[in-house]
Structure 1
Amino acid sequence: MRRRTRRWRGGALLTAAVAVSLAAGCTPGPGAQEDGRAPHPEGSSSTEAGHPASVLAVKVDNVRAARPQTGLDAADVVYVEPVEGGLSRLMAVYATELPKSVGPVRSARESDLELLRQFDRPTLAFSGAQGKLLPLIDKAPLRAEPPGEKSDAYVRDADRPAPHNLYVRPGELLSQPPGADALTTGYHYGEAPGGGRAVSSRTVRYPSASFAFTWSESRDRWLVGMDGDPARTTEGGRLAPATVVVQHVDVRESDFHDSRGNYSPYVETVGSGRAEVLRDGRVYDAAWKRGTATDGTAFTARNGTPLNFAEGQVWVVFVDSTNSADKS
């Protein structure tokens, strides 16, 4: 994929009309198609078609109309990504558990391909992509599973408005969970390191979205809030990861844009930078490094030792390293 050097300027350069249209859903570009083409338990990998089974990654809608989402509480890792209009989208990764349903499912972005290279031929569930991006998805070392006429994996909820009503049934894509061995993220789990600072909450702000993580002593988890509201599942439970990572990255313009000429942000997940790791009611300053796209991401403490995550679900929030709006 070609690299551009333009910096992503978030929502500041977008008009109000564009932000409103994107709040209702991603605006497809020319040739685009929207419907086209837990604890951290021990587990063993299964095999499928002669290949080690890999993770299932699902692109999940995250505008207000898409909430509450389904199946996020079963994910091993949830990535929070910036998209057009200063909004956000989620990528939920499943290895140790496959819920009955996940969604609403939405479209893929160019930077997803680099992020997913850390896994061995992952399955990607998504609802479409910008037309010129589809050939790159087809060529990527992953199993692309968008909805199609012959697919039984996707259903629509008649009680929700389109396009925020498409759901995937993971059991139709994978016969069983691949197991924890498929989580080749590079993360280390174990006892908390020394040091850190006690914090009750951490807020991350995008131009048109915000995330709050509030420590719950009784649950030993970080309670998620989105745009000022508690983030819940469709069953009513709170989304509550054990570890939250605020990963400061370079964000540039993607090679692809929508019909109005607005380029998607591209999250640079290969490289290095600083991060904050939240676990056990404390925040730890860390450094992250991912040498190549096929590597996982290593997080180290100030003394250079691996920084252990707490056992359980991990949320990774990608933040533009130049984003002055992000604050605790």
Structure 2
Amino acid sequence: MLVTAVSVAVTASCTVGGDRDRRDDSRAKETPPAPTRSAPAKTGPVLAVKIDNVPQARPQTGLNAADVVYAEQVEGGLSRLMAVYATRLPDRVGPVRSARESDLELLRQFDEPVLAFSGAQSRLLPLIDAAPVQAEPPGTASDAYTRAADRPSPHNLYARPGRLLSAAPGADALTTGFRFGPAPAGGTAVNSRTVRYPTAEFTFTWSPQRHRWLVAMDGTEAVTTDAGALAPATVVVQQVTVRPSDFHDSLGNYTPYTETVGSGTAEVLRDGKAYDAKWQRADGADGTRFTTDDGKPLNFADGQVWVVYAQR
């Protein structure tokens, strides 16, 4: 359907269970172009894509084109990504996987976003239908998806963003609450940060040559099939509450629910430094405001942002 290392470990709790929903291995020599905040304003929704992140799903495709990448915990202590696109659309994104209840709260900050996902458990589908999102799974937008022959199912489903959006809506559609600009005073020089879930791990290592944070997943450098190394300009480690949701898989294992409305602490990584921060999101319709300890807005570096949700 077309619509107009210094390492600090943060351990998150989880429920036990599996996900039951229906390479170039070399690092690129150049950092891919960063999403820009000066793109001409357009109208239309952002595209949010749920992306598989188990080892069998890597390397992913299309992640470097995202403006924002959110990392959350799912069943079994594993991780899953949600990539948000506004300033440019890649030809292909994936592998695409299923939605979670937490996604609906997170996406309320955008105006009727298009959500690309492979499906969801039956009890969650009515909530997705009632949410202020434009749900576009393969069952309603079959021409926007394709299966890769060189990967086993379910790690082989890919979305074609150009068949879900007529055009990238532009930076004005990114109603995240993030601010971009010069770095604040202070900060602590760091080489790397590691965030650990029970059975997944992210490490972000500063590259002075590329002026970006290079991503590793489960101890292996993260690359994409189409644009080389994953290298965000800003990384946010956001301390949140992760609790069992009302949903569980066929074995009775509960799905973690990540609470993104509220307030708490965070660490913002930019320009080779770490900044202690506070975050606040008073309502689901709001973006998230990040401030320094003295209450001043904390600017992010221009380019891609990764937000990694970690248990308080």
Amino acid across the alignment from 2:35: P
Measured after TM superposition, the shift of residue 259 of structure 1 is 0.3
The equivalent of 1:140 in structure 2 is 131
Measured after TM superposition, the shift of residue 44 of structure 1 is 4.0
Provide the secondary structure at the position in 2 that maps to 1:152.
helix
From 190, 196, 200, the counterpart of 2:191 = 200
The equivalent of 1:242 in structure 2 is 233
The equivalent of 1:216 in structure 2 is 207
Q: Are 2:116 and 2:136, in contact at CA under 8 Å, matched by a contact in 1?
A: yes
The residue correspondences of 1:9-48 to structure 2 (distance < 5 A) are: 9-11=13-15, 14=16, 18=17, 22=18, 26-28=19-21, 34=22, 38-47=34-43
Aligned-residue sequence identity (percent) comes to 69
The CA distance in 2 between the partners of 1:150 and 1:181, in whole Å, is: 26
**Structure 1: runs of 5+ lacking an equivalent:** 1-7, 29-33, 48-52, 322-328
| RMSD over equivalenced CA pairs, Å | 1.2
The CA distance in 2 between the partners of 1:220 and 1:145, in whole Å, is: 36
Cα distance 1:69–1:259, how it changes in 2: closer, same or farther (>3 A)?
A: same
From 79, 88, 97, the counterpart of 1:88 = 79
Show CA shifts across 1:189-217 (max 9, x none).
Answer: 00000001000000000000000000000
The CA distance in 2 between the partners of 1:64 and 1:201, in whole Å, is: 22
Q: Are 2:35 and 2:88, in contact at CA under 8 Å, matched by a contact in 1?
A: no
The CA distance in 2 between the partners of 1:214 and 1:186, in whole Å, is: 25
Pairing 1:232–2:223 present: yes
Name the TM-score, length of structure 1 as normaliser: 0.86
Cα distance 1:224–1:150, how it changes in 2: closer, same or farther (>3 A)?
A: closer
Q: Are 2:62 and 2:226, in contact at CA under 8 Å, matched by a contact in 1?
A: no
From 99, 108, 114, the counterpart of 2:99 = 108
The CA distance in 2 between the partners of 1:39 and 1:282, in whole Å, is: 21
Pairing 1:128–2:131 present: no
Provide the secondary structure at the position in 1 that maps to 2:178.
coil
The equivalent of 1:294 in structure 2 is 285
Show CA shifts across 1:83-109 (max 9, x none).
Answer: 000000000000000000000000000
**Structure 2: runs of 5+ lacking an equivalent:** 1-11, 23-33
**Bigger RCO of structures 1 and 2 (CA < 8 A, at least 6 apart):** 2
The CA distance in 2 between the partners of 1:147 and 1:86, in whole Å, is: 27
Measured after TM superposition, the shift of residue 285 of structure 1 is 0.1
Question: How many residues align structurally?
Answer: 290
Amino acid across the alignment from 1:182: A
Name the TM-score, length of structure 2 as normaliser: 0.91
